[in-house]
A and B are shown apart, each in its own frame.
Chain A
């Protein structure tokens, strides 16, 4: 699985869009980009994933660049409950991967009131 690079921390004002970048310059053509988040002391929670096209669900949007070397997770209207560590993970299969996820340190997103 390709290595991903994320900023250590970010701030965002409540009600604004939070844009979390992820660099995955060595990603291969059949690796998906997955995003999870971990709210303090809880288990990680799946947010969204994509391969080439932009994706949107009820939680967030995922924008993947045309060359697939980077992506951005967008939380459209951040709330205080979105304060969490966000993990960007490149995975070889279309699913969670039978051999587990490799977590980095992620981005600590702090939503300011």
Chain B
């Protein structure tokens, strides 16, 4: 989706490895989010950032850390990847009075 860029698009990790998923938006929105989606399931919120400099836990934060580097960028880090973190990860952004915009996702496999 235009305006939200996620990198990488695909990644395979070994158990115990670390990595950072990057998200950047050019929409000048204050709020940014990280979701995960497991097969056949709806999206679940991992972490969110209501504004630059703030982050909060969502529904499933365990095993993840986030950084709101600036207004544009919101990264998600897996310090020690586990097979249970195999999922598709989506970044999104919004303002309080507008709809949310989602990226195309990062497909992560942990073996």
Given the known A-B contacts A34-B99, A95-B95, A98-B31, are A43 and B105 also in contact in the complex, defined by CB atoms under 8 Å? yes
Given the known A-B contacts A49-B99, A95-B99, A96-B100, are A103 and B44 also in contact in the complex, defined by CB atoms under 8 Å? yes
Closest 6 CB pairs of A and B: A43-B102, A96-B94, A103-B42, A46-B99, A96-B100, A95-B96
Instruction: State whether the Cβ of B62 lies closer than 8 Å to any Cβ in chain A.
Output: no
Interface size counted on chain B using CB atoms at 8 A: 32
Interface residues of B in 35-62 (CB under 8 A from A): 35, 40-45, 48, 50, 56, 58-59
Contact between B96 and A43 (Cβ–Cβ < 8 Å)? no
Contact between A100 and B33 (Cβ–Cβ < 8 Å)? yes
CA distance A45 to B101 in the complex (A): 7
* Number of chain A interface residues as a range: 20 to 34
Given the known A-B contacts A96-B31, A99-B56, are A104 and B98 also in contact in the complex, defined by CB atoms under 8 Å? no
Task: Determine the chain B residues whose CB is within 8 A of the CB of A46 once the complex forms.
Answer: 99-101
